[in-house]
Copies of this chain bind each other. A is one copy, B any other.
């Protein structure tokens, strides 16, 4: 069983956030929200434009992405695996090595 996201949505497996700085010190929270990272498991067909075309997404399967921790909806497969479904517009950046 798997989820196929609709339109401009993507399916993401959330990765553990690192809570410490380079020196190992936990930073106090600032007013700015801290985003999460995740691995893209599946992507929708794309964003429906006003002219009826579907624009493929910039994000693709396998990408590591950063997104707001308030974005998206949790879904769980029959096997109990948990994912997040986001709109691509909630993705801030792709993480590259």
Contacts and interface: CB of A to CB of B under 8 A. Distances in A.
Interface residues of A, number: 51
B73 A68 contact: yes
Interface in A31-83: 32-35, 45, 47-53, 55, 58-59, 66, 68, 72-76, 78-81
B22 A79 contact: yes
A42 to B, nearest CB: 8
Interface of A: 1-7, 9, 11, 18, 20-23, 30, 32-35, 45, 47-53, 55, 58-59, 66, 68, 72-76, 78-81, 85, 88-89, 91-97
Given A3-B94, A3-B95, 5 more contacts: A3-B66, A5-B93, A6-B59, A33-B74, A47-B48
